[in-house]
Structure 1
Amino acid sequence: MNRLFFTGRVAATPVLSNHGDSKVAKFTLISNEYAGRDEGSGETKERQVRIQFTAFGSRGEVIARNVLKGDQLIVEAKLSNNDYLDGQGVERYGYNFTVDSFEFGAPGEPRRAQLARRQE
């Protein structure tokens, strides 16, 4: 089994939906990774990486209820194929990162503002 670990900031507040009898939360993590050095200035360059995740059942409910845009999440996920035939009968290949476990990291700006209002 694939066990993959990711750390990043949530791109937008997760969306919770129904999938049969189960709840499903979808969210995207953003992180920056090293992308070399600028030839002219020698400064370090970074590129933004976005990865979409799916969390089922109680994991999805907890994430949707407690995570806001900008919050940091540490996610353990498994990679699975998401192949299908499109409307024209062409086979499309994809993948899905399914959350196995997660931990809350540092709060993002919206969460910090929310916490500050509570302390007033």
Structure 2
Amino acid sequence: MNKLFFTGRAAAAPELNTYGDTKVARFRLIRNDYAGKDENGERREKQVTIPFTAFGGMAETLAKNVMTGDQLVIEAKISNNNFTDGEGKERYDYNFEVVAFDYGAPGAEKRKKLAEG
């Protein structure tokens, strides 16, 4: 299995759903990646959004505790998410499945909530 590590900030609070007996949380991390230099030699960055899915107790923990802007360090594995669409066409997709995570710095929303007590 490949181990993939990501650091970024939550684009929004994770969305928690239940399918059968399984809890599933979906969320996206935003990070800035190097995008070369501009005409003045200054560093340029581009914003990248990465989708993740978590299952079971980890899904519940993320949905309960993560707010928009919170920094997360994610260990994930990549899995296929292939499907047939409504028109009968095969669609090929991927999914980053959360294996483990750590909390980083809280985002502005959480800092405000903590300051209010």
Cross-structure match for 1:64: 63
Distance 1:57 1:85 in 2: 26
Distance 2:22 2:88 in 1: 29
Q: Where do 5+ consecutive residues of structure 1 fail to align? A: none
Q: What do residues 63-100 of structure 1 show as CA deviations (whole Å, max 9, x unaligned)? A: 00000000000000000111111111111100001000
The answer to whether structure 1 residue 18 and structure 2 residue 18 are counterparts is yes
Which amino acid is the alignment partner of residue 108 of structure 1? G
Q: Where do 5+ consecutive residues of structure 2 fail to align? A: none
Task: After TM superposition, give the deviation of residue 43 of structure 1 in Å.
Answer: 1.2
The answer to whether structure 1 residue 54 and structure 2 residue 62 are counterparts is no
Distance 1:96 1:88 in 2: 22
Which amino acid is the alignment partner of residue 89 of structure 1? G
Distance 1:7 1:14 in 2: 16
State the 4+ residue runs in structure 1 displaced beyond 4 angstroms.
none
The normalised TM-score by structure 1 is 0.95
Which amino acid is the alignment partner of residue 38 of structure 2? D
Backbone CA RMSD of aligned residues: 0.7
Distance 2:112 2:33 in 1: 27
Q: What do residues 23-70 of structure 1 show as CA deviations (whole Å, max 9, x unaligned)? A: 11110000001000002x221100011011000000000000000000
Cross-structure match for 2:96: 97
Q: Percent identity?
A: 59
The answer to whether structure 1 residue 33 and structure 2 residue 33 are counterparts is yes
Distance 1:19 1:105 in 2: 29
Distance 1:21 1:109 in 2: 34
Alignment length (residue pairs):
117
The normalised TM-score by structure 2 is 0.97
